[in-house]
């Protein structure tokens, strides 16, 4: 958000819109413009530029951290993303028919997603609602940062409800690349209420971030159960990557039964065929357990 204006060449638009101090966080400037005039033509122009840019992004053909993340999780898991870019959606789309994948919810909309405002249906652009046979409309991306009013948008409201239900049932919470405590009070309040720290005992919070643990502890204290906080610097040091598709089972074995659990890392340099071969025994074991 700090260099988005420069990256997207938005300075001339903001200058025409009367924004004087343009060397600020993009969301702060957008919020200011929105509060001054929600119907401003400059806002629509900015939204179109942002949408076009993120819509143009594509994943490489080789496996990425997005593919590794999704292959490390199961259908019982949820990935909740604030990202506008299509990387998680595209990674999910190219893996979902090969490996049982987690559910993805898009809390700020996404450039790949469209939805029906009348029915609980969403999919890719160009799809039609099976209920009313109308073409799905694109999800919104930009909201004023000071008060995003998630409940006023049908699609976003539903996504937040799914997240709240998932958080109430979750045994582990991993936070990856998200600085919400300083940028999005409404989001933090909703998550904090659903996580309900005071009624938990052994649940573990993990924050993947390069900041010092003391800093992260201060920022995320409402989500930390007792002293159960892990702070790996990157995804491949995380519990998800160390125990792919068995993260909760490993945590139970270690904390509840006092058992030693060996790490089971993904082969990081593997191509897609090699990854599928590696993960196949884990998926087959899951299917056996589901059938019992």
Q: What is the pLDDT of residues 48-66, one digit of tens each?
A: 999 999 999 999 999 999 9
Residue 85's pLDDT band (cuts 50, 70, 90): very high
Q: Are 33 and 102 part of one and the same domain?
A: no
Is there a domain that residue 60 lies in? no
**pLDDT tier for residue 165 given thresholds of 50, 70 and 90:** very high
Q: Is the pLDDT of residue 96 over 90?
A: yes
Share of the chain above pLDDT 90, in %: 58
Q: Is residue 171 located within the same domain as residue 236?
A: yes
Question: Using 50, 70 and 90 to split pLDDT, how confident is the model at 14?
Answer: confident
Q: Are residues 220 and 179 in the same domain?
A: yes
216: in domain: yes
Q: Are 130 and 249 members of one domain?
A: yes
Asked whether residue 180 is domain-assigned, the answer is yes
Let me know whether 221 and 163 are in one domain: yes
What is the rounded CA–CA span in Å between residue 113 and residue 86?
9
Between CA 72 and CA 67, with CA 92 as vertex, the angle to 5 degrees is 45
The whole-number pLDDT of residue 292 equals 65
- Long-range contacts of range 42-51, CB-CB < 8 Å, 24 or more positions apart? 42/13, 42/14, 42/16, 42/17, 45/13, 46/10, 46/13, 46/14, 46/142, 47/141, 47/142, 49/8, 49/9, 49/10, 49/13, 50/4, 50/8, 50/84, 50/141, 50/142, 51/111, 51/138, 51/141
The answer on 188 and 123 residing in a single domain is: yes
Question: Domain check: are 23 and 87 in the same one?
Answer: no
Q: Choose the weakest-confidence range: 59-63, 121-125, 150-154, 252-256.
A: 150-154
- pLDDT band at residue 147 under the 50/70/90 scheme: low
Q: How many domains does the chain have?
A: 2
Judge whether 174 lies within some domain: yes
Question: Does residue 292 belong to any structural domain of this protein?
Answer: no
Residues 33 and 167 placed together within one structural domain of the fold: no
The answer, yes or no, to whether residue 108 has pLDDT greater than 80, is yes
Q: What is the DSSP string of 125-148?
A: TT-B-TTT-PBPEEPP----TT--
175/282 same-domain check: yes
Report d(CA 19, CA 22) in Å as an integer.
6
By residue range, what is the domain housing residue 36?
4-55
Same domain? 48 vs 73: no
Both 257 and 146 in a single domain?
A: yes
Task: State the alpha helices, DSSP H only, in the chain.
Answer: 4-7, 11-16, 26-36, 41-55, 65-71, 87-95, 154-169, 180-183, 185-195, 213-220, 239-242, 247-255, 272-291
Write down the pLDDT at residue 162: 93
Same-domain status, 71 and 159: yes
pTM: 0.90
């Amino acid at each position: 958000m700090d260099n988005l204006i420069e990256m997207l060449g938005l300075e001339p638009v903001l200058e025409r819109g009367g924004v004087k101090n343009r060397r600020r966080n993009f969301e702060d400037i957008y919020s200011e413009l929105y509060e001054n005039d929600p119907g401003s033509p400059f806002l629509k122009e900015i939204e179109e530029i942002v949408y076009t840019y993120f819509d143009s992004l594509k994943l490489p053909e080789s496996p990425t951290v997005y593919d590794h993340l999704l292959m490390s999780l199961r259908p019982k898991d949820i990935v909740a993303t604030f990202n506008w870019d299509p990387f998680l959606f595209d990674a999910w789309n190219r893996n979902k028919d090969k490996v049982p994948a987690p559910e993805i919810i898009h809390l700020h909309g996404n450039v790949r997603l469209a939805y029906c405002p009348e029915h609980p249906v969403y999919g890719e652009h160009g799809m039609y609602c099976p209920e009313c046979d109308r073409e799905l409309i694109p999800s919104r991306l930009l909201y004023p940062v000071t008060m995003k009013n998630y409940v006023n948008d049908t699609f976003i409201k539903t996504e937040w409800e799914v997240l709240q239900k998932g958080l109430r049932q979750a045994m582990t919470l991993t936070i990856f690349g998200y600085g919400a405590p300083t940028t999005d009070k409404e989001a933090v309040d909703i998550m904090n209420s659903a996580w309900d720290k005071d009624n938990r005992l052994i649940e573990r919070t993990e924050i993947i971030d390069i900041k010092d643990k003391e800093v992260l502890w201060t920022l995320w204290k409402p989500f930390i159960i007792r002293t159960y906080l892990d702070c790996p610097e990157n995804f491949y040091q995380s519990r998800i990557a160390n125990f792919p598709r068995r993260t909760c089972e490993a945590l139970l074995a270690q904390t509840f039964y006092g058992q030693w659990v060996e790490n089971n890392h993904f082969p990081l340099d593997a191509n897609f065929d090699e990854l599928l071969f590696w993960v196949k025994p884990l998926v087959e074991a899951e299917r056996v357990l589901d059938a019992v």
